[in-house]
Chain A
């Protein structure tokens, strides 16, 4: 068995941070349809962006930059940054782009490809998915001068067929969820091969160890609270496999878990604690280059990193979500004929996964809104607002088509 041969090898840690900020829609009443085609709550978007930049992105980037320099090349990380948030940086806070550039210049940071608009296009249309991925790749190239070879789909959504598309676009590594229902008895802490294209290597998120930090760090009802770096290092060191993939929302640092709870101190101590415990940090492409795949990881139904089921029902689980989703992508063909840049831009933003997430009817039974970033009191409001916007958008597409 592979892992016996590799026993002498250091355990690899693949730490990857994911960044996205939704483009929130403004309150859009039905009498705006056909009268007003500005869909976004610019003020709310800007306010939320400023907040996450101040609380998370800038302080966390500064800490990571110091750590990378202090570790002299031994601390390596990856970032997946959506096009939506990059656009918002360019518009409202270009200094954040500079701080990511500084991180990239260390040579210890890998930028990972994703969909431009944090979209669910992989579940709707292969054409649109390819378009989204290419657009993001171009954006990263133009801003940071690198071309990603690792891919991480929106919400870590993965299936064999998505893997096949991604592989055909030139990526050789893909990040996915180490979902229990797909892995069975197997450990997520190895490199796996795509069941359809074995050349495509998979890194599977260790959801338990990832969520210990990203999800539970400040949960006082958690029996492991407070989480010390010693305790956590011990858990990671005891993970059975070769590569432990820790994929986290970057906003967990400073926004979800406030600075006052010690999350930044925890982050600052993490690299040396792991290195001292005999582990090494690798970027995703280093992980898949340095470890052989242990076998296929077949996935027919799409997996994601959300919820106990790790499926896509958070976004497409009810008829409201499915209806809105279908109506949106039904416009794709017409858009292709029209070829209008403004329409394409709106089409992209309307694809953002958050639009569908807010329509999750499980929020009805959850009582209070689960997500404080959710601007809608109930899924009804989310659906109605979105459909009103989509009605206007649809009128614009049809009008442009008629003019052609």
Chain B
């Protein structure tokens, strides 16, 4: 079985968790005997292609360019694509191929042929434009590979239009994978209606909607009005292979309690600060760290100052790569007090580093992590109580550390992707 997969990013060049999850999924699928063609807007060439074939949409020219998303979707059915997706060939071969096809002129509608669009593959200002162009290219690629794949799989709203286009043009079943929704990105009254519309359209067009947690599944059903029968939860996993344990020397003797993530409303930074102040009233040999950046950072700094705990509460700014591993290695307690978190992979990373984790019930990870401490994001007292207990009662932190380490090591993509394979198979029957 082969899957045409539309993603937005792929390691090593990633901005969020989506690329990491996609890598885990294609590797897991390969383990389960499912091949993938992974399409992304802007590949750099240094992606690990041992388990998938990566197609760079920036290298693909489309036959028809239309500016607006809506215009395109209405047109999709009528576009006849005669494309020349030739990823990863040298320019001479590429142009030779184009010349050859131009000469053949097999199809009348190849008029606008040869227009390539250079995708940034980032999450910038012209994101919506990129999304719509990605759909155009996606359709083109789908037709090019139509004889090779059985199912289309699109990851998050950025790729849904590409998925729809591919389905429209090839008639193959479409799976959309919901890693996050608009409701996890904005507050209820601040949802971007354009993004919401694309998400809804993708979910409606899909034959199956895969969600990363039951929490997200409920949002898909209740907020997007999708038929529960076609919404399936496949919990995320995490791939720790090739991960070395980081050795760090501690500069301070104090215990360290860490928050790591974007400092935005959805991540609940203010609840962490409140809890920290409560713990600090009782015990002094502890420091709190907020690692990350975001639009609520200044507010967080002011809150810390107002509570008078600045001497014990530290901001690191945005951390990347090895710095993240180091931060985990320095921590005694990890906390993810998210208000809304479709899954949340960071506590798994923390637990893998032997750090006991406190997570909110409002995170998808809470559905799978038995050995994480779970509190409601607003329950600052319970959060403080868990932090205090992990600092004060060594038998508790030792148990949580050991049990948590074993637990996250058992959450494998191989298991999660076996479920995906079942979903594909159910669509092909």
Q: Is the beta-carbon distance between B385 and A320 smaller than 8 angstroms?
A: no
Give, as a whole number of angstroms, the nearest-CB distance from A256 to chain B.
27
- Distance in Å: Cβ of A318 to nearest Cβ of chain B: 7
Q: CB within 8 Å of B: which of A340-381?
A: 361, 364-365, 377-378, 380
B385 touches A29 (CB 8 A): yes
The majority secondary structure among interface residues of chain A is helix
B405 interfacial contact with A, CB 8 Å: no
What B residues does A388 contact at CB under 8 A? 385, 389
Residues of A with C-beta under 8 A to B403? 361, 364
- Residues in B whose Cβ lies below 8 Å from that of A364: 370-371, 403
Task: Give the distance to chain A from B399, nearest Cβ to Cβ, in Å.
Answer: 6
Give A383 Cβ to nearest chain B Cβ, in Å.
6
Contact present for B393 and A29 (CB under 8 Å): no
Q: Determine the chain A residues whose CB is within 8 A of the CB of B282 once the complex forms.
A: 30-31, 33
Q: Please tell me if A126 contacts chain B, counting CB pairs below 8 Å.
A: no
Residue of chain B at shortest CB distance from A321: B395
Decide if A380 touches B400 in the complex (CB within 8 Å): yes
B370 touches A365 (CB 8 A): yes
A384 x B396 contact (CB < 8 A): yes
Pair B388/A318 contact, Cβ less than 8 Å: no
For B390, the closest partner residue in chain A by CB is A384
Query: Number of A residues whose C-beta is below 8 Å from B?
Result: 21
Taking the complex as formed, is A112 at the interface, i.e. its CB lies under 8 A from any CB of chain B?
no
Q: Who on chain B is nearest to A379 by CB?
A: B399
Q: Is the CB of A384 within 8 A of B389?
A: yes
B392 pairs with A30, CB closer than 8 A: yes
* Known contacts A364-B370, A378-B374; A384/B384 CB under 8 A: no
Name the CB-closest residue of A to B402.
Answer: A319
- Closest B residue to A318 using CB positions: B399
Interface membership of chain B positions 365-389, coded 1 if the CB is closer than 8 angstroms to chain A and 0 otherwise: 0000011011000000100111011
Which residues of B in the span 280-316 have a Cβ within 8 Å of any Cβ on A? 281-282
Contact status B388-A380, CB under 8 Å? no
In the bound assembly, the distance between CA atoms of A214 and B222 in angstroms comes to 44
- Chain A residues lying within 8 Å of B374, measured Cβ to Cβ, are 377-378
Residues in A273-326 with C-beta less than 8 Å from chain B: 318-320, 322-324
B281 adjacent to A384 (CB under 8 Å): no
Is A319 in contact with B399, judged by CB distance below 8 angstroms?
A: yes
B201 to nearest A CB, angstroms?
37
* A30/B399 in contact, CB under 8 A: no
Please tell me if B122 contacts chain A, counting CB pairs below 8 Å: no
| B70 on the A face (CB < 8 A) | no
Distance A380 CA – B401 CA, assembled complex (angstroms): 13
Residues of B at the A interface (CB closer than 8 Å) are 278-279, 281-282, 370-371, 373-374, 381, 384-386, 388-389, 392-393, 395-396, 398-400, 403
- List residues of chain A with CB under 8 Å of any chain B CB: 29-31, 33, 318-320, 322-324, 361, 364-365, 377-378, 380, 383-384, 387-388, 391
Having A380-B400, A383-B393, one finds 20 other A-B pairs with CB under 8 Å, namely: A29-B385, A30-B282, A30-B392, A31-B282, A31-B384, A320-B395, A320-B396, A320-B399, A323-B393, A361-B399, A364-B371, A365-B370, A377-B374, A378-B374, A380-B386, A383-B389, A384-B389, A384-B393, A387-B392, A388-B389
The contact sample of 7 A-B pairs, CB cut-off 8 A, is A30-B389, A30-B392, A319-B395, A319-B398, A377-B374, A380-B396, A387-B393
Closest 10 CB pairs of A and B: A323-B395, A384-B389, A30-B388, A364-B370, A319-B395, A29-B385, A387-B393, A30-B385, A319-B399, A320-B395
